[in-house]
């Protein structure tokens, strides 16, 4: 099995088992280290010390019965074996064993003894079936070698040294591993059960099922992930609804003019008209509905381009008052038709940086709506001002207004606040969507305040120079 195909659950289990095995190996080597570094070294130091003390009791005379008795007594009370001889051959007779298959004293070691130096012995003795530690001490008189004291002790095995500790260690280790296993099992279940739930849920989301939600049980990182995932699905569900509404609205907006065009074209084809004037009237209606379709497609393309992140405006410094005056000149006819009083409160010193054509499109959309939904002989107030970093445009009308419950939907594609007036006003519900995108692309914001029957106020904020 390739490592990349192992699940996250399996990887964590492998990691923890590897850690436990490492802990066991470390414990083994640590105990071995204690055995060698502490126990054996301690035995050596004690043995050398006792050997020196014993050799110091030598009377430096002929072989004394008193010294022998002391050696025998020491053998009884001490864990060490002590051998006292005056000849090397006697030492070999008292200890006829080989250490690591070597004789007890080599020629080189004998030279060291003759010089009055002690020699340490350590190695495996087959007859004892274990290692021993020992030391040979030369007994000197007038710089002459007169005897030897050989003190040695068989070393206890590792299991014997720790015969009390190892069972306790094993029991504690088993209990520890059981506790670790239970904790690990609980941890993995709490970690991977919601992860599997998210995985299963994500497959449903991939199939277009957006109405379900993940149950958030904890406030940890997994809980935060589930909450974020739920928010993402809510966003996808909203986008899906908007997409369906968008397609439905597009189909509806295209179907209506196509129905008119088809009907009038068929009437012309069948000769269902009584005069040249009626024929021209039907042709004019066909052209009118064709233009409506063209404007709709143009608005859709415009909105799509504005939502493209790669779109870059051609910005330049613009006197805001001049831009507004030029825009109002384009709207002179509808203002005169409804005999609307236009009140201008413009600050000539406000300068912004933006795309002139796009910002004029924003002003036309906002002012055109204000005119359409104002009463005849009404009033519209347009004002500009600035603070340290921003310029502001407000357009206030006193027309029919917008109900508060509909304000939050202003700017949605194809949304109209008054469906009964949509064909009279000629809008598709895309103007404010386009306006919002243009303002947002300029780093600004648009806020609408309104109340039904009391008019509407639109506030546009743009960065100033």
The three-state (H, E, C) secondary structure of 233-286, written as one string: HHHHHHHHHHHHHHHHHHHHHHHHHHHHHHHHHHHHHHCCCCCHHHHHHHHHHH
Strand ranges across the sheet with 379-386: 341-345, 379-386, 390-397, 456-463, 445-450
Task: Place 388 in a pLDDT band, splitting at 50, 70 and 90.
Answer: confident
Task: Place 253 in a pLDDT band, splitting at 50, 70 and 90.
Answer: low
Decide which of 204 and 382 is more confident: 382
CA-closest candidate to residue 360, choices 438, 301, 416, 303: 438
The pLDDT value given to residue 411: 62
CB 357 within 8 A of CB 434: no
Asked which of 4-8, 11-15, 272-276, 432-436 is least confident by mean pLDDT, the reply is 4-8
Please identify which residue in the block is written with the tokens 């347009």: 382
Q: Retrieve residue 460's tokens.
A: 């546009």
The pLDDT value given to residue 162: 55
Please list, in sequence order, all residues whose beta carbon lies within 8 angstroms of the beta carbon of residue 12, skipping any fewer than 6 positions away: 188
> How would DSSP label each residue in 55-67?
HHT--SSSPPHHH
Question: What's the whole-number mean pLDDT along residues 269-292?
Answer: 78
- Read off the pLDDT of residues 286-334 as tens digits, 9 standing for 90 and up: 887 787 777 777 767 777 777 777 677 888 999 999 999 999 998 888 8
Asked which of 95-99, 209-213, 384-388, 439-443 is least confident by mean pLDDT, the reply is 209-213
- Helix (H/G/I), strand (E/B), else coil: 394: strand
Helix (H) or strand (E) holding 138: strand 130-141
CA-closest candidate to residue 191, choices 360, 12, 66: 12
Question: What's the whole-number mean pLDDT along residues 439-449?
Answer: 90
Mean per-residue pLDDT over the chain, rounded:
80
CB 378 within 8 A of CB 338: yes
Task: Place 423 in a pLDDT band, splitting at 50, 70 and 90.
Answer: very low
The pLDDT value given to residue 1: 46
- Read off the pLDDT of residues 328-362 as tens digits, 9 standing for 90 and up: 998 888 899 999 999 999 999 999 999 898 899 88
Indicate if the pLDDT at residue 247 is higher than 50: yes
Measured distance CA(131)–CA(124) in Å, rounded: 4
Decide which of 307 and 206 is more confident: 206
Asked which of 90-94, 244-248, 371-375 is least confident by mean pLDDT, the reply is 244-248
Radius of gyration of the chain from Cα atoms?
51
Decide which of 101 and 15 is more confident: 101
Decide which of 381 and 87 is more confident: 381
Indicate if the pLDDT at residue 186 is higher than 90: no
CB 416 within 8 A of CB 429: yes
Residue-wise over 192-228: b if at least 16 C-beta within 10 A, else e?
Answer: bebeebbeebeeebeeeebeeebeeeeeeebeeebee
- DSSP-H helix ranges across 95-209: 107-114, 158-161, 165-206
Phi, psi of 349 (to 5 degrees): -90, -5
The pLDDT value given to residue 420: 47
List domains and CATH numbers for the chain: 8-161 (3.30.450), 185-311 (1.10.287.130), 316-463 (3.30.565.10)
Question: What's the whole-number mean pLDDT along residues 410-423?
Answer: 57
The percent of residues above 70 in pLDDT, for the chain, comes to: 85
The pLDDT value given to residue 249: 65
The pLDDT value given to residue 321: 93
């Amino acid at each position: 099995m390739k490592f990349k195909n192992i699940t996250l659950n399996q990887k964590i289990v492998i990691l923890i088992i590897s850690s436990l095995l490492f802990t066991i190996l470390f414990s083994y080597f640590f105990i071995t280290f204690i055995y060698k570094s502490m126990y054996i070294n301690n035995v050596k130091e004690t043995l050398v010390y006792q050997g020196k003390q014993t050799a110091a009791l030598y009377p430096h005379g002929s072989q004394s019965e008193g010294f022998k008795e002391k050696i025998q007594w020491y053998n009884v009370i001490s864990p060490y074996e002590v051998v006292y001889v005056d000849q090397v051959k006697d030492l070999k007779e008292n200890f006829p064993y080989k250490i690591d298959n070597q004789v007890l004293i080599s020629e080189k070691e004998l030279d060291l003894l003759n010089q009055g130096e002690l020699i340490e012995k350590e190695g495996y003795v087959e007859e004892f079936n274990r290692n021993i530690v020992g030391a040979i001490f030369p007994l000197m008189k007038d710089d002459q070698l007169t005897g030897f004291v050989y003190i040695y002790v068989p070393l206890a095995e590792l299991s014997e040294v720790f015969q009390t500790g190892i069972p306790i260690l094993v029991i504690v280790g088993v209990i520890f591993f059981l506790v670790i296993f239970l904790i690990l099992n609980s941890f993995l279940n709490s970690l991977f059960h919601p992860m599997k739930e998210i995985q299963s849920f994500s497959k449903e989301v991939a199939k277009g099922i957006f109405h379900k939600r993940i149950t958030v049980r904890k406030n940890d990182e997994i809980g935060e992930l589930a909450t974020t995932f739920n928010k993402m699905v809510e966003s996808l569900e909203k986008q899906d609804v908007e997409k369906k509404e968008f397609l439905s609205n597009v189909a509806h907006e295209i179907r209506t003019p196509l129905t008119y065009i088809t009907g009038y074209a068929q009437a012309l084809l069948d000769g269902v008209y009584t005069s040249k004037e009626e024929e021209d009237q039907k042709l004019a209606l066909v052209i009118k509905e064709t233009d409506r379709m063209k404007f709709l497609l143009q608005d859709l393309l415009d909105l799509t381009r504005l939502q493209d992140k790669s779109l870059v405006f051609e910005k330049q410094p613009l006197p805001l008052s001049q831009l507004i005056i030029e825009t109002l000149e384009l709207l002179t006819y509808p203002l005169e038709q409804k005999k609307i009083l236009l009140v201008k409160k413009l600050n000539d010193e406000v300068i912004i940086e933006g795309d002139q054509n796009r910002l004029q499109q924003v002003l036309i959309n906002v002012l055109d709506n204000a005119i359409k939904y104002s009463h005849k002989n009404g009033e519209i107030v347009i004002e500009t001002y600035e603070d340290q970093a921003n310029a502001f445009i407000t357009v206030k009308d006193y027309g029919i207004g917008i109900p508060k419950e509909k304000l939050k939907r202003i700017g949605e594609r194809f949304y109209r606040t008054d469906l009964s007036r949509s064909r009279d006003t000629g809008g598709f519900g895309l103007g404010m969507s386009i306006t919002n995108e243009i303002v947002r692309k300029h780093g600004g914001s648009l806020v609408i305040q309104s109340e039904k029957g009391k008019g509407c106020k639109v506030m546009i904020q743009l960065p100033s120079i």
